[in-house]
Amino acid sequence: MNAVDKRRTGLALIAFALLILPPVRHALQASMTAQMLLDIPLLVACGWLLAAAVPHAVRSALAGWNHGGVSGLLLASVTASVWMLPRALDAAVNDPWVDAARLVTVPLLIGLPLGLSWPRMGFVVRGVFLAELIATCFRLGWLYQISPVRLCSRFLLDDQQRLGTGLLVAGGVLFLYIAARLLWGNVASRDSM
């Protein structure tokens, strides 16, 4: 493991340790907005950084099963779709075991596969992933704003609508960043897929 990988691994472990501290957990789960826009993305980021700790031998063994990063992307997408369900968010707040499952699976089954797969993805796979991510932000943002009922029983309607606005903004910012990079930036483009 080189110095950069060590730093990334250390950063991932420190961030994860901070995220599971009770006061931090309480703050991040106090609102739907914080949970969706801060808690989950930070846990994903921890897993992503943790990819640096995976030994090269393991990476090589996994690579044969992860052509173009598609398998990792699929695993991350399926796991993410579970934690996008309002019922799952409710359960994580109500039941410590479900919350523990979330703290394990979000970094290890979303962040880590993405961290391992991203360098293996070609332009098209990354493009599909990012386009779908932006579209999902816009769809959920719109949905949370128009829903007349609370989708999570633990959170209030105004919180849900605030999250909707936040997702629309997040989608917009991500879109503008990618558009600017494509237009004027220097975008790496691999030959494969």
Partner 1 sequence: MATLTMYPDDERLSRGERSVFNLYLVSAVALFVLMMLLGLAMRMSQGNWLALAPDLFYRVLSMHGAGMVGTMGLVTTAVMWFFLRKYVTLHLWAFLANYVLFLLGALCIIGSIFIGNYAGLWTFLYPLPSQGMVWSPQSAAVFMVGYLLIGVGMLLFYLDAAAGIIRVFGNFARALGLQWLFGGQIDPSHPKAVVAGTMVIIANSLGILAGAVVLVLYLINIYDPQMVLNALLTKNLTYWFGHMYINATIYMGVIAVYELLPRYTGKPYSVSRPFLWSWAASTVFVIIVFPHHLLMDYAEPRWMAVTGQIISHGALFPVFLVTAYGALANVYHSGMRWTMPSRLMMLSLFGWAAGIVPAVIDGTISVNRVMHNTQWVPGHFHFYLLLGVLPMALALMYHVVGSRRQAPPDSGADRIGLPLYLVGGLVFVMAFLDAGRLSVARRMATHLPEWWPTDQAGAIGAALVILAMSYFAVRIGAGLLKAPADGDRAHAAG
Q: Does 187 bind partner 1 (CB under 8 A)?
A: yes
- Is 131 an interacting residue with respect to partner 1 (CB under 8 A)? yes
What contacts 186, CB < 8 A, 6 or more positions away? none
Tell whether residue 176 is a contact of partner 1 (CB under 8 A): no
Out of 18, 20, 143, 169, point to the residue binding partner 1 (CB under 8 A).
Answer: 143
Q: Which residues contact 12 (CB under 8 A, 6 or more apart)?
A: 45, 46, 47, 48, 49, 50, 52, 53, 107
Nearest to 45 by CA among 77, 12, 75: 12
Which residue type, as a one-letter code, is found at position 155? F
150 binds partner 1 (CB under 8 A): no
Among 14, 20, 135, 176, binds partner 1 (CB under 8 A): 135
Judged by CB under 8 A, the stretch of 25-33, 103-111, 158-166, 181-189 that binds partner 1 is: 181-189
Least separation in angstroms between residue 175's CB and partner 1 is 8
Nearer to partner 1, 7 or 67 (CB): 67
Whether residue 128 contacts residue 178, with contact meaning beta carbons closer than 8 Å, is answered with: no
CA distance 41 to 122: 23
Q: Residue 3 carries which side chain, given as an amino acid letter? A: A
Nearer to partner 1, 118 or 142 (CB): 142
What is the per-residue binding string for partner 1 in 64-103, x denoting contact by CB under 8 A? ----------------------------------------
Q: In angstroms, how far apart are the furthest CA atoms of the chain? A: 52
Cβ-contact 136, 77 below 8 angstroms: no
Nearer to partner 1, 7 or 181 (CB): 181
Q: Which spans of this chain sit near partner 1 (rule: CB under 8 A)?
A: 122-124, 127-128, 131-132, 134-135, 138-139, 142-143, 146-149, 175, 181-187, 189-191, 193
